[in-house]
Chain A
Amino acid sequence: MKQYLLKGKFDLVFFLTSLILWSIGLAQIYSAASIHFFTHQIMWIILGICLILLIVTIPTVFFYKIAQWYYYVTIILLITILFSGESAMGAVRWLSVGNFRLQPSEFGKIGLLLMLSWYLSKRSISFYRLKSMIIPALIIAIPFILVMQQPDLGTALIFLTLPLPLFYWSGMSLVQMFYLISPVISLILSAIPLILSFYADSDTEVSIQASLPWGIFVFLLLISYYFLRPPLKIIIISLVLSITSATMTNVIWNNTLQDYQKTRVVSFINPQADPRGAGYQVIQSMIALGSGQEYGKGYLKGSQVNLQYIPEAHTDFIFSVLGEQFGLAGCTLVLLLYILIIARALYSTRNIRNRFANLLLVGAASMMAFHILINISMVVGMMPVTGLPLPFLSYGGSFTITIAVLVGIAMNARGDIANY
């Protein structure tokens, strides 16, 4: 046993950090939800710990071999759910298997990670060689479209962001990444004046300044063509797509969308604009967080939590529960622990020759980072509420297992060094 702990792949830092975070999460769930959720979460965490210990013993090559098959299975599950899923909060997300309710989109996250790592470890890709992009694009698009059907915007967002660091790792340069995401940037920036003019009264003109960010972006894009000299087809593709996406945004906004749909879009992007619906959640969450001040109101003394002002307090908004009870101190501690895990995973890569293990480590770290960043942005009112849980802290069976698998994979890949 001692041998295993010291020389095997098991990593005490990952393990202890996870345990601490899980314990903090359990304490929050206890204060925010019924005892029922608390005991269930304990069960899930124990299952998670077992999974970590199990995954660590498996040789990395095993993941390499099963990667594509696991991916196919999750795709089938995602298709199944569209036809026979149970709905939660208006979206179909659950699949009942006996007494268990599975959330295939969670397994899809692992599936996409394994599949992309497997594919990218065999081939390097470049945005300048467009053919090399076709298969990765398909690998991402299929599960993305399937979760959008549920609709599960949070998971869809993870499916879109996870590939970026993996692409970067497998050979894409930052410049190529910029061209890759330029249409998305263009779309977001071109929407700014539209949304501002929707807020403004009809008699005040939205100034030209609102269009400035998009102007700067196009300017940068053009400048980059001159200095970086990308292939002509890349210039054409990125420019055409950027301008098309900006035009489409304007056309759809002005001609297709009805006023109530615009209101919906605006309140999705800026929940604070609308005190109904999503805005209410975010405002209550910010009040909870803010009222915690430096050191919090004390455990079990959070009035926002106790009076159940925060909706989804034990899942998506668990961070504001932490903030109310433990203040900035508690939040900082948790953020530091997150950074520790992510940094350790990323820095482990330098010693590993195995390309697949490398990608797994980067992917696991990035996926955790994206979850954390998106969830907290949502809680502090910087992002639309899309429904994405916070690693280790949020309640949730499938999600806890996903996080455990990520930790296990990170440990396993990190320990791959021992084999060489």
Chain B
Amino acid sequence: MEIRKDSIDGIYLDRLAKSKVLMSIFLLFFIILFSRIAYIQIVRGERYLELSQENRLSREMIHPERGLIYDRAGRIIAQNRPSYSLYITPRIIPRQKDLVTQLSDVVTAEGAPLFHKHMLQEHFRNNPPQKDALSFFNKEPSVGNFKKELKNLKTESGTPLFNESFLDSLFAHSAINEYSLQHALRANSLQFVKKRLLKIRNREGEPLVDPDFLHDRIQTAIQNPRGKTLIAEDISIEFVSIIQENSSLLPGITIGTESRREYPYGKDLFHIIGYISEINSEELTQFSDKGYYRGDKIGKAGIEAQYDSLLKGEKGWAFIERNSIGTNLGILEDMPYIKPKAGKNLFLSVDAELQRMIARQFHDTLQGAVVAMNPQNGEIYALYSNPSFDANTFSLAEEEVKQNWNDAQQDPRKPLMNKTITANYSPGSTFKLITALAGLESESITPTEYMEKPCTGGMRFGNRYYRCWYEPGHGHLTVYDAIKQSCNVYFYQLGLMLGDDVINNYAQLASLGVRTGIDIPGERAGYLSGRIQHNLRHAHRGPGWTWTRGLILNLAIGQAQDLTPLQIAMIPTALSGYDSLYTPRILSEIRSPENAYIRSTEKTTSASLDFDSSSVNAVKEGMWRTVNAPGGTGWRSRHDIIPVGGKTGTAQNPHGENHAIYVGAAPIKNPEIVVSVVLANAGSGGSVAAPFAKTVFDYYFSQTSEGRTTLEKFKDRDSEGWTQ
């Protein structure tokens, strides 16, 4: 193989030129780099040298303000307050000096050392001082007691360390530089810092920290001397100022500012707002791409969890300059800086005062839930579950949080559980509205038609006798009166006419047995009975539990289903007579940290309801009669002016007292508010639950602007029937 060769003569000059061009290009870049290096090292050198001194520069995260939460009337229901915590960084605390160093650092007014170091060393070798003499100054050193303390110093054998006459002559000749004395004798070992911290008391004489707790924390801190260890959480502003005044005596102690969440409505809104708490490792891996860091607070339930990404804001980063004892000197200029962005403010559809009014009516022992919502767009007005928990607990110091949290978790009444969306109750007679609707829609019955068999206090089906709640019997009934008097026998017959599939078809349209899609996490789907569902659920229990037609009777009167209080509220919502069923939602508007409008949430349709208006009106008439006609079971929810429609329910509870249930809508012609009340083990729906609903209607039509407008309209009218 022959290598191609260029002729020397022709190419020499070309080569020379090309090598010069290449070299010039490279040189040009080298010169640019050299100027950059020289700029960094000479022009900016001083600054960088300063920055390179130990502990001067740290890269720190700046936490953004979490977004605020408001209710529908603009009341603040979740806000932030500043809180101060103390941290210790053992590495910053200077080591304690030995006696020789301390004494030899003291200088006279002329600047000459008081003691000569090698003389001291010589002296101490011959007369070893006592052990505790190594740090003989516990109080602020002054010239006055310096001499006194020196005289008190003893050797190991107990004789004075310094000859008294020597000290007298020494002090007679030289005046001590007070600054050097303070500087030299200030012993800053960890033990001294600890002692000083324990001495700090506020005006009431309360100590800053508990001695045992501080001891534990310092032991932890020693394991990680470079890092910051928390020693006191959420301290008062008074302590902050004491510590700042004495910061020179407390090296390595830094004050951290953080913001804590505060919920002005406390217990009343716990299940809606939820709470925030430190992110756990599971969530860290789950949301690894969302920019969370260990130690961040994250929403754990309710709105705080659902909209955490909106509320949390974006973290800032900055290079913070700190002096040698850890004091923050501020954000470093001309260094990269990412400003934190505060989280968005959320406006909810909830009415905090309504929620509070509902909460006040509950005894702590009563378990139950109340839901109020607008059927025209799905906005939730109230969503209360009792008993509740005060989320402000999470803003207390760690120890108290743990205690309260454990108590709440072990409470058999489950205060942490949001019963409105997770607890299952039988809807009881309120479900009869759905059965009635199914019958009318499928044209099995007409509104004015009487049911075949009269109610005689019960009916026989198969080999069993199924009772009505009213033993004397209701006699012949139309659908209106069957609803009004909640007659079981009527609905047993209707159920048998329709079958489980037809009834469940209509139930599912109303979001029963499926998640409603409300915008807080943890919702449960509930359970509608029926041939397939029943057999699936009881498959493991053997042949005795298979579906029989007799179970349709239970299904038709609402004793077979498990529904959440929110789903129970969907029953009157579906019967409002509007074209669509809207997904319940709590968030209504998102605003910027300055409360400038960003966007509002649109109502979303979860099912379109193309019911015949005559069937819906017939059920509504029944509901109206339930409340307003003589003998109706729901008369306790009657409103003076507004025509209310409702349905009571009493769910049989094999384990104890019956559950009281009520659903209602007002004004019944074009409902603006629907309510569901579920009170566990409280008795009958008509007597216990209906009055609860009345207070909600009263509030709505007197305290809210929308309600008052409607009230005004109705005042002018004759309020006898609702259809006029």
A residues bordering B, Cβ < 8 Å?
Answer: 60-61, 64-65, 121-122, 165, 168-169, 174, 272-276, 279-280, 283, 286-294, 303-304, 307, 323-324, 327-328, 331-332, 335, 338-339, 342-343, 346-347, 349-350, 353-356, 358, 362, 365-366, 369, 373, 376-377, 380, 382
What is the chain A residue whose CB lies nearest that of B337?
Answer: A275
Which residues of chain B are near A350, meaning CB under 8 Å? 12, 15-16, 19
User: Lowest 8 A-B CB distances belong to which pairs?
Assistant: A290-B48, A291-B52, A293-B45, A291-B49, A275-B336, A290-B40, A291-B48, A346-B19
Known: A293-B42, A346-B19. A355 touches B4 (CB 8 A): yes
- Inter-chain CA distance A324–B22, complex, in Å, is 31
Are A294 and B42 in contact, with the CB atoms below 8 A? yes
Distance (whole angstroms) from the CB of B28 to the closest CB of chain A: 10
Are B54 and A307 in contact, with the CB atoms below 8 A? yes
Beta-carbon contacts under 8 Å, B40-54 to A = 40-42, 44-49, 51-54
- Inter-chain CA distance A65–B318, complex, in Å, is 57
Which residues of chain B are near A346, meaning CB under 8 Å? 19, 22-23
Which residues of chain B are near A331, meaning CB under 8 Å? 34, 37, 41
Which residues of chain B are near A174, meaning CB under 8 Å? 21
Distance (whole angstroms) from the CB of A275 to the closest CB of chain B: 4
Interface presence of B6 (CB below 8 A): yes
Distance (whole angstroms) from the CB of B169 to the closest CB of chain A: 44
Which residues of chain A are near B319, meaning CB under 8 Å? 275, 283
Interface presence of B18 (CB below 8 A): yes
Q: Please tell me the number of chain B residues within 8 Å of chain A, measured between CB atoms.
A: 47
Which residues of chain B are near A373, meaning CB under 8 Å? 26, 29-30, 33
Most buried by B among A61, A283, A350: A350
- Inter-chain CA distance A121–B1, complex, in Å, is 13
What is the chain B residue whose CB lies nearest that of A289?
Answer: B40
Which residues of chain A are near B46, meaning CB under 8 Å? 293
Are A169 and B3 in contact, with the CB atoms below 8 A? no
Which residues of chain A are near B338, meaning CB under 8 Å? 274-275
Are B41 and A328 in contact, with the CB atoms below 8 A? yes
What is the chain A residue whose CB lies nearest that of B1?
Answer: A65
- Inter-chain CA distance A61–B57, complex, in Å, is 57
- Inter-chain CA distance A276–B48, complex, in Å, is 19
Which residues of chain A are near B596, meaning CB under 8 Å? none
Which residues of chain A are near B38, meaning CB under 8 Å? 328
Are A353 and B6 in contact, with the CB atoms below 8 A? yes
Are A168 and B22 in contact, with the CB atoms below 8 A? yes
Which residues of chain B are near A280, meaning CB under 8 Å? 59
Which residues of chain A are near B1, meaning CB under 8 Å? 61, 64-65
What is the chain B residue whose CB lies nearest that of A286?
Answer: B40
Are A289 and B37 in contact, with the CB atoms below 8 A? yes
Q: List 18 A-B contacts (CB under 8 A).
A: A64-B1, A275-B317, A280-B59, A283-B336, A289-B40, A289-B48, A290-B44, A290-B49, A291-B48, A307-B54, A327-B41, A328-B38, A342-B26, A346-B19, A350-B15, A369-B26, A373-B30, A380-B40
Contact of B6 (CB < 8 Å), options: A283, A335, A355: A355
Interface presence of B5 (CB below 8 A): yes
Most buried by B among A323, A327, A328, A366: A328
Which residues of chain B are near A365, meaning CB under 8 Å? 22
Are B42 and A64 in contact, with the CB atoms below 8 A? no
Are A272 and B336 in contact, with the CB atoms below 8 A? yes
- Inter-chain CA distance A58–B641, complex, in Å, is 110
B residues bordering A, Cβ < 8 Å?
Answer: 1, 3-8, 11-12, 15-16, 18-19, 21-23, 26-27, 29-30, 33-34, 36-38, 40-42, 44-49, 51-54, 57, 59, 317-319, 335-338
Are B41 and A294 in contact, with the CB atoms below 8 A? yes
What is the chain B residue whose CB lies nearest that of A292?
Answer: B41
Which residues of chain A are near B15, meaning CB under 8 Å? 349-350, 358
Which residues of chain B are near A272, meaning CB under 8 Å? 336
Are B37 and A323 in contact, with the CB atoms below 8 A? yes
Contact of A290 (CB < 8 Å), options: B3, B19, B47: B47
Are A356 and B3 in contact, with the CB atoms below 8 A? yes
Distance (whole angstroms) from the CB of A1 to the closest CB of chain B: 29
Apart from A350-B12, A353-B7, what 10 extra A-B contacts exist at CB < 8 Å? A64-B1, A121-B4, A290-B40, A290-B49, A291-B52, A307-B54, A346-B23, A355-B5, A365-B22, A369-B26
Most buried by A among B22, B47, B59: B22
Distance (whole angstroms) from the CB of B568 to the closest CB of chain A: 42
Are B33 and A380 in contact, with the CB atoms below 8 A? yes
What is the chain A residue whose CB lies nearest that of B36?
Answer: A380
Distance (whole angstroms) from the CB of B44 to the closest CB of chain A: 5
Contact of B37 (CB < 8 Å), options: A60, A122, A353, A380: A380
Contact of A354 (CB < 8 Å), options: B5, B47, B317, B337: B5
Which residues of chain A are near B21, meaning CB under 8 Å? 168, 174
- Inter-chain CA distance A324–B48, complex, in Å, is 10
- Inter-chain CA distance A376–B5, complex, in Å, is 37
Which residues of chain A are near B47, meaning CB under 8 Å? 290
- Inter-chain CA distance A347–B16, complex, in Å, is 7
Which residues of chain A are near B37, meaning CB under 8 Å? 289, 323, 328, 331, 376, 380
- Inter-chain CA distance A100–B5, complex, in Å, is 40
Are A335 and B34 in contact, with the CB atoms below 8 A? yes
Which residues of chain B are near A303, meaning CB under 8 Å? 52-54
- Inter-chain CA distance A279–B59, complex, in Å, is 11
- Inter-chain CA distance A304–B56, complex, in Å, is 11
Most buried by B among A169, A275, A293: A275
Distance (whole angstroms) from the CB of B50 to the closest CB of chain A: 8
Distance (whole angstroms) from the CB of A39 to the closest CB of chain B: 29
Distance (whole angstroms) from the CB of A168 to the closest CB of chain B: 7
- Inter-chain CA distance A87–B44, complex, in Å, is 38
Which residues of chain B are near A376, meaning CB under 8 Å? 33, 37
Most buried by A among B5, B33, B41, B44: B41
Which residues of chain B are near A353, meaning CB under 8 Å? 5-8, 11
Which residues of chain A are near B51, meaning CB under 8 Å? 287, 291
- Inter-chain CA distance A365–B30, complex, in Å, is 14
- Inter-chain CA distance A333–B377, complex, in Å, is 77
Which residues of chain B are near A283, meaning CB under 8 Å? 319, 335-336
Most buried by A among B18, B52, B319: B52
- Inter-chain CA distance A176–B49, complex, in Å, is 47
Which residues of chain A are near B335, meaning CB under 8 Å? 275, 283
Which residues of chain B are near A339, meaning CB under 8 Å? 26-27, 30
- Inter-chain CA distance A286–B338, complex, in Å, is 19
What is the chain B residue whose CB lies nearest that of A174?
Answer: B21
- Inter-chain CA distance A61–B2, complex, in Å, is 9
Are A347 and B19 in contact, with the CB atoms below 8 A? yes
Which residues of chain A are near B36, meaning CB under 8 Å? 380, 382
- Inter-chain CA distance A382–B52, complex, in Å, is 21
Distance (whole angstroms) from the CB of A330 to the closest CB of chain B: 10
- Inter-chain CA distance A276–B317, complex, in Å, is 7
Are A274 and B22 in contact, with the CB atoms below 8 A? no
Contact of B3 (CB < 8 Å), options: A121, A165, A343, A362: A121
Distance (whole angstroms) from the CB of B92 to the closest CB of chain A: 14
Which residues of chain A are near B33, meaning CB under 8 Å? 335, 373, 376-377, 380, 382
- Inter-chain CA distance A354–B11, complex, in Å, is 11
Which residues of chain B are near A169, meaning CB under 8 Å? 18, 22
Are A355 and B3 in contact, with the CB atoms below 8 A? yes
Which residues of chain B are near A64, meaning CB under 8 Å? 1, 3
What is the chain B residue whose CB lies nearest that of A122?
Answer: B4
Distance (whole angstroms) from the CB of A281 to the closest CB of chain B: 11
Which residues of chain A are near B27, meaning CB under 8 Å? 339
Distance (whole angstroms) from the CB of A187 to the closest CB of chain B: 20
Distance (whole angstroms) from the CB of A279 to the closest CB of chain B: 5
What is the chain B residue whose CB lies nearest that of A347?
Answer: B19
Distance (whole angstroms) from the CB of B101 to the closest CB of chain A: 24
- Inter-chain CA distance A355–B10, complex, in Å, is 13
What is the chain A residue whose CB lies nearest that of B60?
Answer: A275
Contact of B48 (CB < 8 Å), options: A273, A286, A354, A382: A286
- Inter-chain CA distance A165–B359, complex, in Å, is 81
- Inter-chain CA distance A349–B19, complex, in Å, is 8
Which residues of chain B are near A366, meaning CB under 8 Å? 22, 26
